[in-house]
Amino acid sequence: MRSNYIVIEGLEGAGKTTARECVVETLKQLGVSDMVFTREPGGTILAEKLRRPGAGYSVHRR
């Protein structure tokens, strides 16, 4: 059995989770069913706030 390792990296709030969801959907459409996910802990208050949908936080200056 062949395995692949996919890594998605980026700044806080850059869209890594959204990218992961697109990759997962594509893999499912291709017939891949066995997947394992890991997530490095955010570890900062800002990281966790940015992860909350609609929190109103941005990494860009206003």
- The token pair at 36 is 């394992």
pLDDT tens digit sequence for 46-59: 777 766 766 665 56
Q: Is the pTM here over 0.85, yes or no?
A: no
- Give residue 17's identity as a one-letter amino acid code: T
CB atoms within 10 A of CB 57: 12
pLDDT tens digit sequence for 3-60: 889 999 988 789 988 999 999 999 999 999 898 887 766 667 777 776 676 666 556 6
